[in-house]
Structure 1
Amino acid sequence: MYVGTQLSGEAFEAVGDRYLRQLAQLGVRHVCVDPVGNPHDWTRDILARHIDRIDAAGLVLDMVQLPMSSAGVDKVKSPSIVLGQDPDRQREVDGICALIEMLGALGIRATKYNFNILGIPRTTSERGRGGAVLSTFRHDQTTDQDTLSRAGQVSTEQMWERITWFLERVVPVAEASKVRLACHPHDPLTRPGYRGMEERVLGSADGLKKFVSIAESPYHGLNFCQGTIAESLVNPREEIGDIIRWFGSRKKIFNVHFRNIKGGRYSFTEEFPDAGDMDMADSLRIYHEVGTDCMIMPDHVPDIDGEAPFEAAFAFCYGYIIGLFQANGWDPYGA
């Protein structure tokens, strides 16, 4: 395992090669950076040029994002897979399978994705250390409980049918291409019936355990967001270690969002890694103990003041992660 980071194609277009050089200067060698443009339009040539661009900055492209984002069905153009809509979902999955095959042929050995209907619900942000702005979710403060998404009412059975349909088609392609599929949990777990969802089935550890048992394969696992999983727990500090061990010992962790929170189920703020309730140093030791072999990266950092708040906040997190590695005598940079 080693320090890493991620950047969408839209964000990459804004910051460009300067940001890649900055990552290399900060000691972040491994990245998930998407090519600029619509993922549905990526070709082998576009991906190959993108790999060359990452290489030229002294970085390694570990993964990219499939065109299945965290935005939710109301904000994406092609949501037929998660909506279970035939025949369009077959066309979409065919495109995703072709993309997975291209990634494998080009030596990109992992990809991440979301199977998300509601997006990432949040309530009014709150203030944290020094006035930093913290992304917040207080279920008791939500005002859209009865506002249905484009999906309408969705039962638990329907959600599992759609997930199973997808996995049965993409996992064999990923296996043949030797590309690991890393799915992000539903962020956050919400109360039953929220916005028409009987259950956010990938919002809890139990749901994720069921998920990885479908279409069992060493290429089917998780973009293990520690913060999201903690959001579903009653006592994240005490519970998270056993959950990391369960998935890690079964080799189902393909990427780690090393994110801390204050609070827990239905009520939390997102924090810097050193400021939340979980013992992140202990968490990193558990990832190491179970043989995690992927990027350990920041995610959802608080908003801070300054001329480059995004870059400064992430730089702090890279330094924190690298410091934890070095305190244990481990190489944080990767081969």
Structure 2
Amino acid sequence: MYVGTQLGGSKLEEVGDRYLRQLAQLGIVHVCIDPPGNPYSWTRDVLRRHIDRVDAAGLVLDMVQLPLPSSGIEKNHQSPGIVLGQGPERDREIDGICRLIEDLSAMGIGAAKYNFNLLGIPRTPSERGRGGAILSTFRQDQLTDSDILTAAGQVSTEQMWERITYFLERVVPVAEANKLRLACHPHDPLTPPGYRGMEERVLGSADGLKHFVSIAESPYHGLNFCQGTIAESLENPREEIGDIIRWFGERKKIFNVHFRNIKGGRYSFTEEFPDAGDMDMAAALRLYKEVGVDCMIMPDHCPDIDGEAPFETAFAFSFGYIIGLFHANGWDPYGR
């Protein structure tokens, strides 16, 4: 268990090698950073050059993102067939992901994260937090698009589980054969039943995620455990999150942790800095350690702040907070 971070390929091109060096200077060693371009176009040569680029900055590439993004179906131009359950396209995309898993494993990358997402990340107007920081917000009573269907139309719970099961039954055996851990992100957030045509957001609750990890059971099938997203589905995150961490952690289903805090809970919350939300993050980190979690603990969805480098500054604060919690417990935060 060690501090880490993530960066998409397009963001990497924006911030460049300077930011990779900055991560190393701040004490980050392990990362999830994608090569530029569509993942279906990543060859072993592309991956080799990317690994060398990351290594040159003093970092270790633990994980990348598969071509199943967090964006909703209107913006998902990589694998629409998989999430829509459309025959020939679905099978072609799954074959491409299986080839990518084989290539990632061959290049020594041990994990990949992904989303199975039709709605994207719904939010209502942002609110102000500490010092005027802008907080990503979801309030059910402010929703204005509940009756606007996505391109997927009406989707039943049964249909969603069929699509997920179809994918897992074909991909998980390939991941197991190649010893590559597949880490799925929960649906962010849990939305009211029927929202935008979704009968139920099946990966938006702990119960749904428990069912998910039971499909195609394997030590290589688990979660990108977003603590903030799971907290968004709870009535009382501070009291309930510990039992959920324990349940998934004891079953070795946590392959990456988004260490994010919120204020509020089900259908009404703001995303916060780790020290400003309702959950006891120090207690959560101790629990991850207790149940034997062995992966990156990383910031996620930091609030928007003022300054000349708001992205870098907000994440630097969060890195320092996580590293401080490790040191307070006498643990090495760097995975050495």
TM-score scaled by length of structure 2:
0.99
Amino acid at match of 1:26: L
1:10 corresponds to which residue? 10
2:147 matched residue in structure 1 = 146
Aligned residue for 1:180?
181
What pairs up with 1:35-54 in 2 under 5 angstroms? 35-54=35-54
| Rounded Cα–Cα distance in structure 1 between residues aligned with 2:140 and 2:113 | 28
Give the equivalent residue in structure 2 for 1:101.
102
> 2-side partners of 1:233 and 1:203: how far apart?
10
Matches within 5 A, 1:114-153: 114-153=115-154
2:137 maps to amino acid: T
Distance 1:5 1:147 in 2: 35
Q: Secondary structure at the match of 1:31?
A: strand
| Residue of structure 2 in register with 1:210 after alignment | 211
* Shift, 1:37, TM fit: 1.1
Q: Distance in 2 between matches of 1:116 and 1:76?
A: 9
* Cα deviation code 1:211-247 (max 9, x no counterpart): 0000000000000000000000000000000000000
Q: Match for residue 292 of structure 2?
A: 291
Identify the residue that residue 172 of structure 2 maps to in structure 1: 171
Alpha-carbon distance between aligned partners in 2 of 1:178 and 1:20, rounded to the nearest angstrom: 27
Aligned match of 2:67: 67
* Identical counterparts, % of pairs: 82
Task: Find the aligned partners of 2:81 and 2:147 in 1 and give their Cα distance.
Answer: 23
Q: Give the distance between the partners of 2:65 and 2:268, measured in 1 at CA.
A: 29
The aligned counterpart of 2:91 is 90
Q: Whole-Å Cα distance in 2 between the matches of residues 207 and 247 of structure 1?
A: 12
Matched residue type, 1:170: V
In the other structure, the counterpart of 1:234 is 235
Q: Which amino acid aligns with 2:97?
A: I
Q: How far off is 1:38 after superposition? A: 1.3
Q: Structure 1: which amino acid aligns with 2:91? A: Q
> In the aligned structure 2, how far is the partner of 1:230 from the partner of 1:254?
18
Corresponding position of 1:303: 304
Q: Does 32-41 or 215-224 show the bigger shift?
A: 32-41
Q: Aligned partners of 2:93 and 2:234: how far apart in 1?
A: 34
Matches for 1:233-272 after TM superposition, within 5 Å: 233-272=234-273
Q: Deviations over 1:28-77 (max 9, x none)?
A: 00000000111121111000110011111110000000000000111011
Partner in structure 2 of residue 279 of structure 1: 280
Q: Distance in 1 between matches of 2:238 and 2:19?
A: 34
Q: TM-score, normalised by structure 1?
A: 1.00
Residue in 2 that maps onto 1:162:
163
2:28 aligned partner: 28
Report the more deviating stretch, 68-77 or 195-204.
68-77
1:220 corresponds in structure 2 to 221
Distance in structure 2 (CA, Å) of the matches to 1:232 and 1:76: 24
SS of the aligned residue for 1:87 comes to: helix
- What letter matches 2:11 in structure 1? A
Q: Report runs of 4+ in structure 1 exceeding 3 Å deviation.
A: none
Deviations 1:280-323 (CA, angstroms, capped at 9, x unpaired): 00000000000000000000000000000000000000000000
What one-letter code is carried by the residue in structure 1 that aligns with 2:207? D
In 2, Cα distance between equivalents of 1:34 and 1:286: 29
Secondary structure of 1:222's counterpart equals strand
| Structure 1: 5+ residue stretches without partners | none
Amino acid at match of 1:275: A
**Does 2:56 align with 1:56?**
yes
What is the one-letter code of the residue matched to 1:232? S
Counterparts of 2:37 and 2:307 in 1: how far apart (Å)?
29
SS in 2 for 1:242: helix
1:263 to partner: Cα distance: 0.1
**Which whole-Å CA distance do the structure 2 matches of 1:80 and 1:136 have between them?**
30
Give the secondary-structure state (helix, strand or coil) at the position aligned to 1:333. Answer: coil
Deviations, residues 254-296 of structure 1 (Å, cap 9, x unaligned):
0000000000000000000000000000000000000000000
Alignment partner of 1:18: what SS? Answer: helix
Partner SS for 1:273: coil
